[in-house]
């Protein structure tokens, strides 16, 4: 009888956990968050050029959770804590990548509110790597959030520049700003929104938008990254119009830090034995 009661209690507890709402607050409190990294690849050489840190939750019963499962409805304080956690983690993870011989430039997402309310300069002053090879950190903000207050963008960019931290404009083309305002924005990198990179090899409108963005970026000395690249046709077209970097499932899905470290190690090992194309092959293997 006692054994049956224990079994019943265990089933009820499991059912309760199954329907328990997963919140960002809970994940922060329990330490269940981590960064997955999606590689950025040079379109011309298909070599690893950087990586974007993307937040994931490793739930003990539900497995890996994407942001859609826990970010909706999160309060501002939790989002600020999340931003600080993401930046600290990326700075720490760079050390792990560097230990494998790769000075990988990392980027993370940040809401505009965090640029003002998180003590970024103090955080970077205290936590940034001191190695001479550290290439800096990129904070990605979305176009629709930042273009409404260019003064904020410029003030933040000025304060971060001292610590080798720069801003990237994410999802460019998806918002409502005029491309002509690009010269007013203090960014070093433009990320072409997936909606325009998609089928750009055969969609004349998308191809035209991508060409315009790349040309404007070139004029203002900015690097371009195409998001969501899913086919070789798209990659070849983007390379042909001058886009430098690509990011998407064609190359690799977001992966745990340890998996990317493995790819870096294989790349370094391959270079010592003369297999110059090994990095591309390693990334192709990470798509699954």
Write the CATH number for 265.
3.20.20.450
Task: Answer whether residue 13 is part of any domain.
Answer: no
Task: Answer whether residue 10 is part of any domain.
Answer: no
Question: Taking each helix axis from N to C terminus, what angle separates 150-161 and 120-127, rounded to the nearest 10 degrees?
Answer: 20
**Domain span at residue 267?**
21-285
Task: Answer whether residue 12 is part of any domain.
Answer: no
Task: Answer whether residue 6 is part of any domain.
Answer: no
Task: Answer whether residue 2 is part of any domain.
Answer: no
Q: What is the pLDDT of residue 179?
A: 55
pLDDT string in tens for the chain (288-residue length): 444 434 544 554 444 444 468 899 999 999 999 999 999 999 999 999 999 999 999 999 999 999 999 999 999 999 999 999 999 999 999 999 998 888 899 999 998 888 889 999 999 999 999 999 999 999 998 877 776 667 777 888 888 988 999 989 887 766 555 555 556 667 889 999 999 999 999 999 999 999 999 998 898 889 999 999 999 999 999 999 999 999 999 999 999 999 999 988 887 666 555 444 444 555 655 665
Task: Answer whether residue 9 is part of any domain.
Answer: no
Task: Answer whether residue 187 is part of any domain.
Answer: yes
Task: Answer whether residue 259 is part of any domain.
Answer: yes
What domain count does the chain have? 1
**pTM, to two decimals:** 0.85
Distance CA 115, CA 121 (A): 10
Query: Residue 45's closest CA among 263, 260, 245, 257?
Result: 245
User: What are the b/e assignments for 158-169, b being 16+ CB within 10 Å?
Assistant: eebeebebbbbb
Pairing state between β 63-65 and 48-59? antiparallel
- Which alpha helices (DSSP H) does 118-246 contain, by range? 120-127, 143-146, 150-161, 194-197, 204-219, 232-240
């Amino acid at each position: 009888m006692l054994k049956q009661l224990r079994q019943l209690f265990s089933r009820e507890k499991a059912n309760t956990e199954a329907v328990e709402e997963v919140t960002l607050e809970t994940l922060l409190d329990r330490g269940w968050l981590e960064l997955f990294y999606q590689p950025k690849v040079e379109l011309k050489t298909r070599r690893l050029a950087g990586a974007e840190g993307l937040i994931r939750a490793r739930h003990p019963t539900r497995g890996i959770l994407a942001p859609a499962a826990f970010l909706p409805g999160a309060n501002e304080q939790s989002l600020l804590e999340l931003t600080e956690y993401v930046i600290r983690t990326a700075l720490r993870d760079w050390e792990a990548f560097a230990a494998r011989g790769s000075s990988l430039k990392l980027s993370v997402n940040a809401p505009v509110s965090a640029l003002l309310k998180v003590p970024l300069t103090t955080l970077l002053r205290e936590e940034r790597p001191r190695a001479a090879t550290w290439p800096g950190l990129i904070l990605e903000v979305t176009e629709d959030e930042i273009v409404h207050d260019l003064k904020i963008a410029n003030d933040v960019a000025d304060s971060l520049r001292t610590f080798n931290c720069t801003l990237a404009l994410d999802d460019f083309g998806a918002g409502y700003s005029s491309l002509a305002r690009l010269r007013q924005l203090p960014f070093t990198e433009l990320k072409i929104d997936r909606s325009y990179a998609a089928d750009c090899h055969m969609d004349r409108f998308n191809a035209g938008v991508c060409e315009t963005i790349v040309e404007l970026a070139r004029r203002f000395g900015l690097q371009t990254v195409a998001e969501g690249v899913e086919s070789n046709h798209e990659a070849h077209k983007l390379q042909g119009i001058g886009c430098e970097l690509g990011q998407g499932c064609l190359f690799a899905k977001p992966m745990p830090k340890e998996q990317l470290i493995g790819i870096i190690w294989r790349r370094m090992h391959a270079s010592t034995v003369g297999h110059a194309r090994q990095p591309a092959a390693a990334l192709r293997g990470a798509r699954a």
